[in-house]
């Protein structure tokens, strides 16, 4: 399903509002993803736009979208590189290489006209930062935004191809990529500490947490659903239906809850693209709960808050691996912002961010423990309410409205401004949304 809009609402042109706007050069971003579907990249790009700079994003092109378009004031350049989710390692290498080369040439062409103040490269892959090498050599600051730890990601995604030599090579490319950049951003303290321990200067690393905007995830903007208002216990999961997230464990746990409470109506609402990495339909059928599981497919980011508001409990199941020990699911923050009790795998970063009495956690990979935690929430309204309030307080302290200040401080500290040429001005966004 295409994103609902690829244009407005559009901010007024900063060039028409601010006589000094021509001195504030635009920012370019590169991401090997569909921009419309990447919440972190969108949050950062929109924050820069709101600060008064134009932003050009170079991203993958989905079927049905034009090569260029606008989304909430951000100009999107979509490159024709086919994405192969769930493919083999050789296919990934070719895909990454093709995107790097296309992005390098597209960025270089655009920079001649736009004179970027800064280039930000979102990973993975880490080596995508070398697409900005011509700009870096020309004196333009380059920021690498490390969404994941790529060496650990590779080990999890391709266990058969992983060995000490390959791991050492991935660590080397990570270090080389960071060395090429002017500064590095990553998403949590654990990943930041990992980089510093490996030799990256602490002053080069900035933590910008992957937290939602409370303006977008605003519980007050949607009808309030009292717990089990219609007599049905409604779970919600919004994210990729991939092996990283142990939805098979969730379905097993639901079948156990159903066996223990046969008169308890349950509905599991799954929102996200299914890449067929896990046969969840077959898992549901094997547990005899097909009628209790609804696969909604991918929905636009703008529709996610309403889906969460219509549920009773938010699920953030994550399989525990070396890779996910550095991870903290954004879903936890989104559910909490919408005033929902959250059940999540007991992972190091979850416990570090959310103290006792906030998120209800279960032993990763243990459907019996998950069923127990679910029933404890169902049976105790006081516990649910206390957890919702405590988790909400944590989320408000680290919401994007706060994190964006640190991010924009870094952008402004690094950006190289000067009097831009007249051709640096971006064309005005269309008055109406672009038709995909």
Mean pLDDT of 112-138: 95
Decide which of 432 and 152 is more confident: 152
SS3 112: helix
What percent of the chain shows pLDDT beyond 70? Answer: 88
Q: Is 213 left (phi over 0), alpha (psi -120 to 50) or beta?
A: beta
Residue with tokens 């103290």: 355
Strands (E), 246-370: 266-271, 293-297, 313-316, 342-345, 360-362
Mean pLDDT of 420-430: 49
What integer pLDDT is reported at residue 42 of this predicted model?
95
Res. 186: pLDDT tops 90: yes
Global confidence as pTM: 0.84
Res. 71: pLDDT tops 60: yes
pLDDT band at 200 (very low <50, low <70, confident <90, very high): very high
For the residues of 351-375, what is the DSSP string, one character each?
HHHS-TTSSEEE-TT-HHHHHHHHH
345-404 residue pLDDT tens: 999 999 999 999 999 999 999 999 999 999 999 999 999 999 999 999 999 999 999 999
Mean pLDDT of 99-108: 96
Of the given ranges (141-155, 157-171, 172-186, 331-345), which has the lowest mean pLDDT?
Answer: 157-171
Walk me through the domains of the chain, giving residue ranges and CATH numbers.
Answer: 14-211+399-424 (3.40.50.2000), 219-397 (3.40.50.2000)
Work out whether the CA dihedral 167, 170, 171, 172 comes out positive or negative: positive
Average pLDDT of the chain to the nearest whole number? 87
What integer pLDDT is reported at residue 52 of this predicted model?
94
Of the given ranges (52-66, 161-175, 216-230, 377-391), which has the lowest mean pLDDT?
Answer: 161-175
What integer pLDDT is reported at residue 430 of this predicted model?
57
Res. 84: pLDDT tops 50: yes
């Amino acid at each position: 399903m295409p994103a609902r809009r690829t244009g407005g609402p559009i901010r007024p042109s900063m060039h028409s509002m601010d006589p000094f706007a021509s001195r504030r050069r635009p920012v370019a971003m590169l991401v090997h993803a569909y921009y419309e579907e990447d919440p972190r990249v969108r949050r950062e790009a929109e924050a820069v736009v709101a600060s008064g700079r134009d932003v050009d994003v170079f991203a993958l092109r989905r079927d049905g979208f034009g090569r260029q378009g606008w989304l909430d004031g951000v100009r999107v350049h979509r490159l024709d590189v086919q994405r192969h989710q769930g493919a083999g390692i050789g296919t990934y290498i070719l895909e990454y290489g093709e995107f790097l080369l296309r992005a390098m040439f597209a960025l270089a062409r655009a920079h001649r006209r736009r004179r970027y103040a800064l280039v930000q490269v979102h990973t993975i892959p880490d080596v995508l930062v070398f697409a900005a090498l011509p700009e870096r050599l020309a004196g333009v600051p380059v920021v690498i935004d490390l969404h994941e730890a790529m060496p650990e990601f590779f080990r999890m995604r391709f266990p058969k191809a992983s060995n000490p030599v390959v791991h050492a090579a991935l660590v080397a490319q990570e270090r080389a990529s960071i060395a090429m950049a002017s500064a590095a951003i990553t998403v949590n303290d654990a990943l930041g500490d990992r980089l510093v321990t490996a030799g990256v200067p602490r002053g080069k690393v900035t933590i910008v947490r992957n937290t939602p905007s409370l303006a977008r995830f605003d519980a007050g903007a949607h009808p309030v659903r009292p717990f089990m208002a219609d007599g049905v216990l409604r779970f919600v999961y919004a994210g990729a239906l991939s092996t990283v997230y142990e939805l098979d464990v969730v379905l097993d746990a639901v079948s156990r809850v159903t066996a223990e409470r046969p008169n308890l109506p349950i509905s599991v609402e799954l929102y996200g693209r299914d890449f067929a990495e896990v046969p969840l339909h077959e898992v549901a059928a094997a547990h005899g709960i097909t009628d209790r599981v609804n696969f909604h497919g991918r929905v636009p980011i703008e529709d996610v808050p309403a889906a969460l508001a219509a549920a009773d409990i938010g699920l953030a199941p994550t399989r525990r691996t070396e890779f996910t020990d550095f991870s903290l699911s954004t879903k936890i923050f989104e559910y909490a912002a919408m005033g929902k009790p959250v059940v999540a795998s007991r992972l190091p970063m979850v416990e570090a961010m959310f103290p006792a009495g906030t998120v209800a956690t279960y032993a990763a990979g243990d459907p019996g423990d998950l069923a127990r935690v679910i029933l404890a929430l169902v049976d105790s309204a006081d516990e649910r309410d206390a957890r919702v309030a405590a988790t909400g307080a944590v989320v408000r302290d680290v919401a994007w409205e706060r994190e964006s200040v640190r991010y924009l401080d870094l952008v402004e500290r690094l950006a190289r401004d000067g009097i831009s040429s007249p051709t640096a001005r971006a064309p005005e966004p269309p008055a109406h949304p672009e038709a995909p």
